[in-house]
Structure 1
């Protein structure tokens, strides 16, 4: 399903609060996260260590890289602590019914 550059990532009902879900959309690894009443999509690869962010923990609208502990803001992709210094892309999300749609062609 594709709507204006958005593709279906998963069902909203499949997401557990604060539990990242890794999906691949058009060849792009994405972590989809439901937290604090919103759904976010962030590039799933840490900008510091090239590991999956979806294996990390979510807290206070951030996701932590499990390897070295860098945290990234789910809204902006900006790191909030070392060792990461570069942000990771975040992607626009739309909810239509039970579908979570993400556009990996547009970064927020």
Structure 2
């Protein structure tokens, strides 16, 4: 993946943890769910709030503002009041780190 932004070292994000990074102006939340990494835009499509501060239930993150839920695997809406998905992004895990990028403009 060209143009990637480093999230953290591979061993710095344990299962159940997340990080938020700025990838060229896009805030991306990266979640470690049972050892697999997923990345979505850190924005609730209901009202623009940050998602990363919300509680995680399985593969769903709940917006702390109004309770909308999004699937961290693909950005799909799982519970209202949101009805539009948030963007999802590719994640690469290699020997020295966890990487992601905003690929919407490729």
Same fold (TM over 0.5): yes
Structure 2 counterpart of 1:36, from 31, 34, 38? 34
Structure 2 CA distance for aligned equivalents of residues 35 and 10 of structure 1: 15
Q: 1:54 maps to what in 2?
A: 52
Aligned alpha-carbon RMSD (Å): 1.6
Q: Deviations over 1:53-73 (max 9, x none)?
A: 110111111111011111100
Unpaired runs of 5+ residues, structure 1, are: none
* 1:1-108 paired onto structure 2 within 5 Å: 3-106=1-104
The DSSP-based 3-state class of the residue aligned with 1:55 is coil
Unpaired runs of 5+ residues, structure 2, are: none
Structure 1 CA distance for aligned equivalents of residues 17 and 93 of structure 2: 18
Whether the aligned pair in 1 keeps the contact of 2:14 and 2:35 (CA below 8 Å) is no
Structure 2 CA distance for aligned equivalents of residues 37 and 12 of structure 1: 10
Q: Normalised by the size of structure 2, how large is the TM-score?
A: 0.89
Shift, 1:5, TM fit: 2.7
The DSSP-based 3-state class of the residue aligned with 1:23 is strand
The DSSP-based 3-state class of the residue aligned with 2:46 is coil
Structure 2 CA distance for aligned equivalents of residues 17 and 57 of structure 1: 14
Q: Normalised by the size of structure 1, how large is the TM-score?
A: 0.88
Deviant stretches of 4+, over 3 Å: none
